[in-house]
């Protein structure tokens, strides 16, 4: 019973390169969330997706960041032209349903991005 | 800010002692959850308390919720060195827009000395 799977676990990119982070939700889960955690800080919400739809992207930076959750395959968080300030842990989470059904959100182990 | 505030920011205790962490928030909520994060790892869900509940227990964990004060506390009894971790409260707010996302507190770093 695999949990939320994220890869890569660690990623090093040079400034200006692109970073792609992948997330496979728990089996049967159709709701995916991405969070960012800067060093020594809590988690900040970035985006909430359901299959093929972005539901809430209020936490996404306006530029360089994008997310998708296609009908087939994992959810992808894409960061273009990375800068040092993008260095952080990026956590993906998934849930079976919505708040109204009281579903717990389960987190992956995170992808640690270092921009050099 | 929609973010929750936790205090203390850091807490150091001896093994066997109790640890209490507090979380305050500003919005109305459906439920509040507590998560644990070991250094360099992901988050582990500990316990969920609904807005119509005042107290909940799970093993050595006891959570209280006071919606009138918009606050919650997490008590870990008889702490162990293995409890050393960061603890975060998280809640789903009721405000304009989507309600399904979790908003996290700032976290409490707990160190349990053996």
Residues whose CB falls within 8 Å of the CB of residue A116, separated by 6 or more in sequence, listed in order: A12, A13, A14, A15, A84
pLDDT tops 90 at residue B12:
yes
Q: Which whole number is the average pLDDT over A39-45?
A: 86
Q: Which of residues 39-58 of A touch B (CB under 8 A)?
A: 41-45, 48, 55-56, 58
Q: Which residues contact A26 (CB under 8 A, 6 or more apart)?
A: A2, A3, A4, A94, A96, A106
pLDDT of residue B96: 47
> Among B28, B30, B38, B42, which would you mutate to test the A interface (most chain A Cβ atoms within 10 Å of its Cβ)?
B42
Secondary structure letter of residue A96 according to DSSP? S
Residue B27 has pLDDT above 60, yes or no: yes
Residue A102 to residue B31, Cβ atoms within 8 A: yes
Per-chain mean pLDDT for chain B: 90
Closest by Cβ to A104, choosing from B3, B48, B50:
B48
Closest-CA residue in chain B for A46? Answer: B101
Backbone angles phi, psi at B51, to 5 degrees: -65, -20
What does the block give as tokens for A69?
């959750």
Q: Is pLDDT of B1 > 70?
A: no
- Nearest CB neighbour to B100, from listed A31, A107, A109: A31
Residue A1 has pLDDT above 60, yes or no: no
What mean pLDDT do residues A3-7 have? 95
Torsion sign across C-alpha atoms B19, B11, A107, B4 = positive
> If you average pLDDT over residues A47-57, what whole number do you get?
91
Distance set, CA B28 to CA A43, B2, B71, B103 (Å): 20, 10, 11, 12
- Assess whether pLDDT exceeds 60 at residue A97: yes
Nearest residue of B to residue A106 by CA position?
B45
At residue B92, the pLDDT reads 77
Residues of chain B in contact with residue A31, where contact means CB-CB under 8 angstroms, are 100
Half-sphere exposure of B64 (CA within 13 A, CB side): 10
> pLDDT over 70 for what percent of chain B?
91
Q: Give me the mean pLDDT over the A68-81 stretch.
A: 95
Q: What is the mean pLDDT of residues B24-51?
A: 90
Mean pLDDT of all residues in chain A?
91
Are residues A104 and B33, on separate chains, in Cβ contact within 8 Å? yes
């Amino acid at each position: 019973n695999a949990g939320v799977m994220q890869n890569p676990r660690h990623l090093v990119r040079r400034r200006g390169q692109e970073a792609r982070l992948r997330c496979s939700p728990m089996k049967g889960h159709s709701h995916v969330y991405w969070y960012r955690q800067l060093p020594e800080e809590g988690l900040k919400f970035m985006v909430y997706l359901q299959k093929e739809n972005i539901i809430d992207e209020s936490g996404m930076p306006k530029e360089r960041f994008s997310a998708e959750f296609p009908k087939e395959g994992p959810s992808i968080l894409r960061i273009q032209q990375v800068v040092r300030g993008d260095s952080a842990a990026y956590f993906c989470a998934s849930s079976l349903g919505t708040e109204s059904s009281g579903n717990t959100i389960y987190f992956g182990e995170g992808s640690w991005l270092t921009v050099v | 800010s929609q973010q929750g505030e936790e205090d203390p920011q850091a807490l150091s205790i001896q093994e066997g002692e109790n640890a209490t962490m507090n979380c305050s928030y500003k919005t109305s909520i459906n439920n509040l959850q507590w998560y644990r994060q070991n250094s360099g790892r992901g988050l582990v869900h500990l316990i969920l308390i609904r807005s119509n509940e005042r107290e909940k227990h799970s093993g050595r964990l006891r959570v209280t919720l006071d919606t009138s004060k918009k606050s919650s506390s997490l008590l870990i009894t008889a702490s162990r060195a293995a409890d050393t971790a960061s603890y975060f409260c998280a809640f789903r707010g009721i405000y304009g827009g989507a309600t399904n996302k979790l908003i996290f507190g700032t976290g409490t770093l707990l160190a349990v000395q053996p």
